[in-house]
Structure 1
Amino acid sequence: MSKYIMIVDDSATIRQTLKLTLIKAGYEIIEANDGKDALNKLNGKKVHLIISDVNMPNMDGIALLKEIKKTASHKFVPIMMLTTESQKTRVQEGKLAGAKAWLVKPFRPEQLLSAVNKLILP
């Protein structure tokens, strides 16, 4: 059975890079360009992992994280933040909001896949 990963990033280039890496590893991808778009596309869909940027227009990654944790159907979906943000305060804010991992851009594909394999829901 396919595992679905949602990629949330306002950069089409980053989404494309992530998508190629994850498809090669056998995952199905759902793309969203910001938090609001992600919430619309999540509506009723089963996803096994969400990878989200922090700094995005309309709704940032931390706000998205908090919204997702409020929905019963997605409350337990692991969320990895993939961002240029590396300040301890932002990382802490993300962890408190429910982020399971924090990966700083630029990333290496094997680093990403290692984190994905540890986090993805069975």
Structure 2
Amino acid sequence: MAPLPGRRGVGRRVLVVEDEPNISEAIRFILRRDGWEVAIEATGTGALARIRAEVPDLVILDVMLPGASGFDILRALRGQPGTAPLPVILLTAKGSAQVREQAMAAGASMFIAKPFANAELLAAVRQLVGV
């Protein structure tokens, strides 16, 4: 996968946008153990600014966030040339077919329902970043 403009090549940097500390810390633990650099953002309003400031290699994005929903953030990312190709895993506690369809229509690269298996999340991250 070619690096996005303005980045140092394909790396292992993930931004987790999740307002539940137990979940974000669990994801951080899983990915760091596999060699990923993980940053955490707890609000929807802070997520876009952080992503635009330093585009990560992948975003793991919760649907329900304070300030802006994951769907709002995803649509904004897909609407900007610099972030449109960014791989995004959308996480939600609502794993219905309708929510899954909404996620894919909004441009999610992958959709994972909570609770998720550690191996499932790690496999998705590796697949999307190509490592």
TM-score normalised by length of structure 2 = 0.87
- SS of 1:43's partner is helix
1:18 is matched with which residue: 19, 27, 33? 27
Runs (4+) of structure 1 exceeding 4 A deviation are none
Matches within 5 A, 1:80-91: 80-91=89-100
Q: Which residue of 2 aligns with 1:27?
A: 36
Task: Report how far residue 74 of structure 1 moved.
Answer: 1.1
Q: Which residue of 1 aligns with 2:107?
A: 98
The answer as to 2:126 corresponding to 1:117 is yes
- SS of 2:53's partner is coil
Q: Which residue of 2 aligns with 1:73?
A: 82
TM-score normalised by length of structure 1 = 0.93
Deviations 1:72-99 (A, max 9, x none): 2111011101111112111111101100
Contact 2:45–2:66 (CA under 8 A) maintained in structure 1: no
Deviations 1:13-69 (A, max 9, x none): 111000010111111112111221111211231311110111112101111100111
Q: CA RMSD in A?
A: 1.5
CA distance in 1, matches of 2:67, 2:53: 21
Moved more, 112-121 or 5-14: 112-121
Q: Which residue of 2 aligns with 1:3?
A: 12
- SS of 2:116's partner is coil
- SS of 2:66's partner is coil
Q: Which amino acid aligns with 1:4?
A: R
CA distance in 1, matches of 2:51, 2:82: 10
